[in-house]
Every structure is written in structure tokens, then in C-alpha cells.
Amino acid sequence: MRERILLDDSALDLELSRMTDAGTDRVAVRAAAERDQRPWVVVNHLSRLVVDPERFPDDREVMRRVGMGAVYTRTSHGDALRADDAEHEGLLLRRYFDPYARAVSHLVQGRLGTCGRAIIVDVHSYPRHVLPYELHPHARRLTVCLGVDALHTPPWLQVAALGAFEPLGDVAVNEPFTGTYVPLRHYESDLRVSSVMIEMRRDDDGGLPAGVASAVARLVDAIGRYRG
């Protein structure tokens, strides 16, 4: 990937620090380990500067307007990250985006077959200060942002997430980021798949709010208790 990236090493390191959802893998693994009913954990080991597996891979993706679709061509500050190259974009999608999507879809489909439903807790972090690429620069940046979807986030799941994260401080819904991840195979077609996104605000040093793993664990517990 490196030979296609136009940034020098120092600029690339800076961009990685800006765009990496730092600490989310550790939060998810710790939260899962604390539960009697342990959930599955899917960890993306690739930087989103390779591919962003939660973006639409086509023109449905609104972030394409700033060069940050499933394959980024621009940085968080609008500088050129890689050249516009449809052939290379297609290669990245086939090599990295599609296998990730298949893996999550396979897991979700397995839960549907076993339980009749699947619930995704989509864990992210975001920087304290707004970056130029963001579409809603004037939105509040509270301790936790909950991303919900009109079809795939039922009211009970939003209420459970609000209750789990309220002890951490201020919580917003769909502010500054909106929506949540659902595999394309199930998106808008299978309402047995529910999802909520957790965006935790990072400090300037990359630290996350105290107690976030426990909050995710509380949400997992609430999901496990739900019998609706």
C-alpha cells in the first residue's frame, strides 16, 4: 500500500494518528471478556487508509464528495492521499473490503440461523477537535455519540445504549456522526439485524473516557436480557 500513498513518512504518521480509532479493539475485547454470555468480537486489523469497511463502496457513500469513500483519495485535511485510480480502487475493494464484508455477513447470518436475530455494537472513537473533512463541523462533541439507524436501531436498543453510557457523562444521538454499521447483505432488507454505533471521544493523547469498557459491557448485558 505504501507506494501508492502520496504522503511522506511524517505526514503519513500524522494522518494515521488523526484517523485511527485508537483503543477500540481493547475496549471491545475487554467488554466481551467480562460477560457471562460472551459476544463475538470482529476486529479490523487494517488501517482505514487502506480501505474503510464501513463505507458504501459506491456512489451511495456521501463521504465520496470529500474523497473519503470506501477507498480514500484525500486526507482528513483535504490533501491528496493517493491518486484517483478506478482500477486500483477496485483491487483494494476486492482484496480487503469484500472479505471483511463477507466475514461479518457470515457471522450475522449464523446468529440469525441460531437465534433468529443479530445485534451489532459498532465501536469507534473520534478526536476531541473537529477535522476539516467532517460534514458537520458545528455539531457538539460530547463524551459519547450514539449512532442510530431509522430501520436497524429499534427504540429499545437506543434506550439501552443511553442507559449504559449515561454514567460516563454527556451523550448525544447522531451527533457529530450518524448511523451505524449493517452488512450490505442485510442493510434495509433484513430487520432481524439491529445495530448501534458507539463513538467515544478521544483526548489529544489518544486516551478514551474512563469506564468505557464497562459501559460497553453494560450494554451487552442489557442486550442479553432483552426478550422483546
Looking at the predicted structure, is the pLDDT value of residue 92 above 90?
yes
With beta carbons less than 8 A apart as the criterion, state whether 28 and 41 touch. yes
* pLDDT-wise least confident of 19-23, 77-81, 155-159: 19-23
Grid cell locating 201: 471521544
Q: Where residue 27 falls among pLDDT bands split at 50, 70, 90?
A: very high
Q: Quote the pLDDT of residue 53.
A: 96
Give the amino acid at 44: N
Look at the pTM and tell me if it is higher than 0.85: yes
The identity of residue 78, as a single letter, is G
Task: Return the CATH architecture of domain 2-225.
Answer: 3-Layer(aba) Sandwich (3.40)
Summarised one tens digit per residue, pLDDT across range 155-177 is 999 999 999 999 998 999 999 99
Between strands 118-127 and 193-202, the pairing is parallel
pLDDT of 106-120, one tens digit each?
999 999 999 999 999
